[in-house]
Each structure stands twice: as structure tokens, then as C-alpha cells.
Amino acid sequence: MIKGLRAAVGRAVLGAAALCGAAGAAGAQSTADTMGAIRSRGAVLCGVAGTTAGFSLPDSQGAMRGLDADGCRIVAAAILGDANKVRFINTTATNRFTALQSGEVDMLVRNTTWTLGREAALGLEFASINFYDGTGFMVKKASGVTSVRGLDGATVCVQPGSTTELSLTDYFRVHRMRFTPLVIENLEELRAAFIAGRCDAFTTDASSLAAFRYTQGPNADQYLLLPEIISKEPLGTMVRKGDWKFFDIVRWAHFAQLTAEELGIDSENIGSFRNSPLPEVQRFMGVTGDLGKSLGVAPDWAVQIVKQVGNFGEMWDRNITPLGVQRGINNLWTKGGLQYAPPMR
């Protein structure tokens, strides 16, 4: 009887120790202070691709431009009050997650697809979706191919370490088609291989294909985007798990842009909303409530985002519309799209 009691007590002690260890690990994870680090250095370290027009690509003056680049700027505007206080760090499809895990970057905005496997296994979390996309295919018009089903036996250019690679394999297997992959990590080299005719088709996110075609200038008409989209690719912003204050501000910076667009607030007219009698607008402007305090930022954090970077529609028109990509499912929910922000209250 005493022996059994001792065993039970021993098991209880071990169980308590295990629980304390787990709690300690969780506590250690949650003690990260990315916002504090950002304020100390005076800049957001943001991982981008740096090679994709419309998303992240330096302009002629060397300034990073694009939807993803602006996704970094809205966080800097919210935390530091200055959208220009961002250090852009180029990452690849294979090193992007390591860069975020190691702390080389504070956040990752790099045409990265939200998947269960990535969120469950990497110690990282998706804070928002800035582009609803899907895997597409591009061919040369001269090939005569007008559908993915015409690529049986083709050589296909694809990047390793991407969801595209898996989607490609799954699609061809399901449709009992054969293909030979030409796998190249460097995106510029992959595009060059396609142009040189080393592969019959080039596959990646449809948005990236549209961006590539756009950069070809007068030669753009030589390339055809096939009509099929073979996967769901919600592209989003990633942060490290456990630092929930930073997670909150990254997520709500995106929602603030959506809310502003829904309310008709943009970078040009935002000053006129200061004296609006609408409670939702007053909270957005930081005139009433303590939303900024709850997030650990200034009362006018949302105002700074819109004033300096614009609402989501402005950001889209500046970066994506020139590519010839229709907004479609990336429209606000009020216009039949998937972009939907919870209420700011």
C-alpha cells in the first residue's frame, strides 16, 4: 500500500515537473520582444524576395517597391511612426524560414503560402494574407499550347522548396501526365532558362508569372499565361510564434488598411475624417478608445499607416494594377472578394 502510494506520488511529481517544463518553455517563447528590438534599432528588418515586380523589386533609385515591400512599411509606420524605417533583406525560397527563425529578420513578406505544415512545424505563424493566389503556368505562344493538359511529357521549370513544386507533382499525377522538372533555386536563373528554351513551361504563383511577363516590356506578348489555376496559394506575412504583441500589430496593420478602404479613408482625404461623428471612424483615427494602447503603439497608429502608405486599394493600384492583374478575389468582401477585416473596437 505504502509502496503504491510512493509510486503514485513519484508519478505526480514527475508530471508536475513536466508541466512546469512545458510552461517554462512556453514562457520563454512568449518573452520575445520584437517590438522592443525594433524600437531599439530604429528599423524593421523585413525579409522579402527582392526580385519580383509588383511585390518586391528595387526601382531605378534603389528603393524597394511592391505590395510585399509596402507590407513591411505599414508595420514600421505603426510601430515607429515612419514607414521608411525598414531594412529590406533579400531571401530565397530555401533560406527564408531559417532567416526568420534565427532572428535575421523580424518578419517575412515574400510571396509565401500559408499551409498547415509550415505553421505547425516551423515555429512560425501567419499573421495576414496580402494576396490570394494560385499556381499557374506560362508558355511561349509559339508553342501552340493553350492548356495545362497540353503539357503531357513537357519539361517544366520550377523552384525547389516551394509549394508550387508539390502542386505540380500532384496535378500531373492525378491527371496521369508525365513531366520532367528543371529545378533551379535562383529565380532569375530559372526565368532565364525558360526564355532560353531549356523548359517548355514555367510554373509558379500566377501573380509572379504576371510580374515576369510585365518585365519583358515589348516582348511580353510572346508569353502566354495558361487559364488553369491548379492550387490555392494564400500568400501572407509570417512572424515567429510566441511574440504575440508583435503578431497582433502585424495582423492589425493589414486589417487597418482594409478597414480604411471600406470606410472610404485614403492617404489623400484622411485629414478630413478627424472630426467624423461616426464611432468606428473615431476609433480608427485614435480620437476615442484605447486601441493603440492595447497594441502597444501610439493612438494614431492606423492614421500613420494610411497617411504614409495608403489603404489596401491604394497599395494594390500602385503595385499590382500595372501588372495587368485583376483584383478579383483580392477585393474587399463588400465587392465580392475575400479581403475581410474584423471590426476595430
Q: Which residues share a beta bridge with 56?
A: 52
Q: Distance between CA atoms of 72 and 130, rounded to whole angstroms?
A: 11
Task: Indicate the helix (H) or strand (E) that contains 342.
Answer: none
CATH of domain 135-231: 3.40.190.10
Read off the pLDDT of residues 134-163 as tens digits, 9 standing for 90 and up: 999 999 999 999 999 999 999 999 998 788
The answer to whether the 34-133+235-325 and 135-231 domains have the same CATH topology is yes
Q: What's the pLDDT tens digit per position in 228-246?
A: 999 999 999 999 999 999 9
251 with 257: CB under 8 angstroms?
Answer: no
Query: What pLDDT score does 63 carry?
Result: 97
**Residue 100 and residue 238 in contact, taking contact as beta carbons nearer than 8 Å:** yes
Mean pLDDT of the chain: 91
11 or 243, higher pLDDT = 243
- Domain assignments of the chain as residue spans, ordered by start: 34-133+235-325, 135-231
Cell of 234: 494564400
Domain at 34-133+235-325: CATH code: 3.40.190.10
Q: What integer pLDDT is reported at residue 127 of this predicted model?
A: 98
Record the pTM: 0.84
Helices then strands, each counted (H, E), the chain: 13, 12
Whether the per-residue pLDDT at 117 is higher than 50: the answer is yes
Region 83-87 average pLDDT: 98
Residue 324 confidence (pLDDT): 87
